[in-house]
Amino acid sequence: MTNRPVEMSDVALMPRCSGAERGAALPLVTVDDLSIYFQSRRGTVHAVDGASFEIGVGQTVGLVGETGCGKSVTARSFLGLVPSPPAVHAGGRIVFRPRQECPSCHASDCQGGGQAEYDLTKLTPREFRKVRGEQIAMIFQDPSLALNPVLTIGQQVAEVFHQHRAEMMLADAGLSTDDPLLRRAASDRSSRLERAVLAAPGLRRRRNRLQKVVDEYVAQALAETRIANPRKIMNSYPHELSGGMKQRVMIAQALACAPDLLIADEPTTALDVTIQAHILDLIHELQERHHTAVLYISHDLSLVRDVCDQVVVMYAGQVVEQGPTTRLFDNPLHPYARGLLGAVPSGGQPRGGLSAIEGMVPELVNPSSQCRFHTRCAHASAVCAAHTPTLTAHDPPDHRAACFLYEHAETLGLPAEDMPSRNRSAS
């Protein structure tokens, strides 16, 4: 965890070029003790409570847990998409380090490019608009809700380029930002030059040239997602497309500017099984091509095992375990993670049911100091009902869990007889 306070204005470039260092797992996002609460009539909902985890550059990280555990609120806070009020940022940081191109080798995955750093919890709405789509993008469970029904697919994908690639498109159309005619068209200072050209009643030739470039950008973004006949799809409306096609459009939109991080919140839950596999393959292929990190939010452990490098397990607003996927699946530490894995069906059965863990996620209103899993845990003891376990590194140190089973009474200064025992049957 970094201890230095960081802000958007505090961009620190740290040149340390070495081609040999390329590919090392640099941290891209460090979620550090993040808390997001909601004020409600019943009290304060601790939706995310002291969550800490990391996502490395180009890594695929699975964020798993039952419904209501705080996965979506955590991920949406990366993009300033948690409505405030009622949400309150109650503490912690999300340190984001977008990649910079290395001046020596021009690769964006070389450490020589340095990394800017800023705390996403401190960005203004205006600053978020720059980050969204360009550096961090998100795809949602239900693309029908994310796409605007009254705009064509082309208009919606073009929006990302209008936001982030305006100057590049003007240059590709052979238009100069110094052209006095263009400047006059954009006399309304609030409109962007490139948008103003497209809307101007005169300037027909310039407008046509620019529109051709915009269409080219959009068609290419759609083609990347292997959509057949992208030029035709551009003129369609969302209701004319299948669920799988709409999800491809969202992926095209999300990856149009090759962001550093793609957040995929249950991206395949609304799709049938064969389409799910195609969409996952597609995300993986585009991720490799653009060296994009992916945060997969899912309750489907089988999916996470197949596609993720790291797994973060959330329970009742807290991270209870994080580790490399193979390690966590081979040797889950937290009884909740064990319960989830016990619920992963093997060969030929449907994926991802969580019914093996009895009971429900507790209410997150004004929680007291205790392990939030204690009402469902077969190992629970007096200590678990009275103290909150902290996320602690185990062997190997990148495997961390928050559970008193792995703590020593004397280190914590607690009575040994009140500690949980590993000998009891697992939940």
Ligand X SMILES: Nc1ncnc2c1ncn2[C@@H]1O[C@H](COP(=O)(O)OP(=O)(O)O)[C@@H](O)[C@H]1O
Residues making contact with ligand SF4 (CB under 6 A) = 334-335, 371, 373-374, 377, 379-380, 384, 389, 403-405, 420
Strands lying side by side in the sheet with 27-40: 43-56, 27-40, 87-96, 118-119
Q: How far apart are CA 57 and CA 23, in angstroms?
A: 8
Cβ atoms within 10 Å, residue 65: 26
Taking each continuous run of H as one helix and of E as one strand, the counts in the chain are: 16, 12
Q: Which is nearer to Mg ion, 72 or 381 (CB)?
A: 72
Site for Mg ion contains 72 (CB under 5 A): yes
Interaction partner, residue 380 (ligand SF4, Mg ion, ligand X, none; CB < 5-8 Å by kind): ligand SF4
Q: Which is nearer to ligand SF4, 361 or 403 (CB)?
A: 403
Task: Return the CA Rg of the chain.
Answer: 24
Residues numbered 32-51 forming contacts with ligand X, rule: CB under 6 A: 38, 40, 45, 47
Of 6, 51, 64, 69, the one binding ligand X by CB under 6 A: 69
Site for ligand X contains 298 (CB under 6 A): no
Kindly state the smallest distance separating residue 46's Cβ from ligand X, in Å.
9
Residue count (the chain): 427
Kindly state the smallest distance separating residue 406's Cβ from ligand X, in Å.
25
Residue carrying structure tokens 């949406």: 76
> Which of 222, 212, 205, 366 has the alpha carbon at shortest distance from 282?
222
Strands lying side by side in the sheet with 310-315: 136-139, 261-265, 293-298, 60-64, 310-315, 318-324, 399-401, 392-394
Q: Are 61 and 296 in contact (CB under 8 A)?
A: yes
Site for ligand X contains 252 (CB under 6 A): no
Interaction partner, residue 86 (Mg ion, ligand X, ligand SF4, none; CB < 5-8 Å by kind): ligand X
Which tokens in the block code for residue 211?
């529109």
Q: How far apart are CA 282 and CA 380, in angstroms?
A: 43
Site for ligand X contains 67 (CB under 6 A): yes
Residue carrying structure tokens 């490098």: 309
Single-letter code of the amino acid located at 138: M
Q: How far apart are CA 311 and CA 330, in angstroms?
A: 12
Kindly state the smallest distance separating residue 78's Cβ from ligand X, in Å.
12
Site for ligand X contains 238 (CB under 6 A): no
Q: What are phi and psi of 232, to 5 degrees?
A: -75, -40
Interaction partner, residue 65 (ligand SF4, ligand X, Mg ion, none; CB < 5-8 Å by kind): ligand X
Which tokens in the block code for residue 361?
């996620």
DSSP state of 115: B
Q: Are 319 and 52 in contact (CB under 8 A)?
A: yes
Interaction partner, residue 335 (Mg ion, ligand X, ligand SF4, none; CB < 5-8 Å by kind): ligand SF4
Using CB under 6 A, which of the segments 54-62, 68-76, 183-191, 392-400 binds ligand X?
68-76
Site for ligand X contains 132 (CB under 6 A): no
Kindly state the smallest distance separating residue 43's Cβ from ligand SF4, in Å.
23
Interaction partner, residue 405 (ligand X, Mg ion, ligand SF4, none; CB < 5-8 Å by kind): ligand SF4
Kindly state the smallest distance separating residue 317's Cβ from ligand X, in Å.
7
Site for ligand X contains 71 (CB under 6 A): yes
Kindly state the smallest distance separating residue 66's Cβ from ligand X, in Å.
7
Using CB under 5 A, which of the segments 70-78, 126-134, 183-191, 199-207 binds Mg ion?
70-78
> How far apart, in Å, are the Cα atoms of 290 and each of 30, 224, 293?
21, 11, 9
Of 50, 58, 62, 65, the one binding ligand X by CB under 6 A: 65
Which chain residues interact with ligand X by CB under 6 A? Answer: 38, 40, 45, 47, 65, 67-73, 83, 86, 364
Which chain residues interact with Mg ion by CB under 5 A? Answer: 72
